[in-house]
Amino acid sequence: MPFWISRGTELSRTRRWAGTGFVGTLLGWGGLYALPEGAALAPVLIAAIGLACWVSARAEAYFGVHDDTRIVIDETVGFWAAAAWLPRTFPVLLGAFVLFRILDAWKGPLRRLERLPGGMGVVFDDVAAGLAANAALRCGLWIMA
C-alpha cells in the first residue's frame, strides 16, 4: 500500500510524465479541493506531510534508491504547501503551480534538505519549495492589490 500511495496510485509510471514531478503536482491540485480551508488546514497539512514522509521512507527502502522518481507524494504535499491559505481561484492556483514547479526544479539552497534521512529527505525539500512559492505568490498578490 505505501508504494501505491507514494507513486500517485500508479500514475507516476506513465512514460510521458515519469520523473518530472508533474503528475504528483497535478494530483495535489486535484486533491486540494478535498482539504479544509482556514485554521483547519494546519493539522491536515501536518498529518499529510507526516504520512508522506512515512510512505516515502517505505517506498525508498523498497526501490533501493533515495528520492526515486517514482515517488510523487512529495510533489503532492509540496503543492499543498504552495497553495495553503491562498484563494482557491484558477489564476492563483496556476501561479502556485508554476512557482512551485520552478522552485522545486531549481531548489537552490533547499537542495540541502534532500540530505535528511529517509522520507524526510524526500519530502522536506518539496515542502520548502512549496512554502517559498507560497511566500513569493503572496508578495506578488500584495503588490498587485
CA-based diameter of the chain, in Å?
Answer: 48
Question: Helix 73-83 to helix 118-144 angle, to the nearest 10 degrees?
Answer: 30
| Per-residue pLDDT tens digits of the chain, which is 145 residues long | 444 444 444 444 545 444 557 778 888 898 999 999 999 999 999 999 999 999 999 999 998 888 888 888 999 999 999 999 999 999 999 999 999 999 998 989 999 999 999 999 999 999 999 999 999 999 999 999 8
Which pLDDT belongs to residue 8?
47
- Please state the φ and ψ torsions of residue 11, each to the nearest 5 degrees: -65, -25
Q: Closest Cα to residue 75, out of 101, 93, 98?
A: 101
Cα–Cα distance measured from residue 39 to residue 92, given in angstroms and rounded to the nearest whole number: 19
Give Cα 145 distance to the centre of its chain.
27
Cα–Cα distance measured from residue 98 to residue 133, given in angstroms and rounded to the nearest whole number: 9
Cα–Cα distance measured from residue 116 to residue 118, given in angstroms and rounded to the nearest whole number: 7
- What does pTM read for this prediction? 0.87
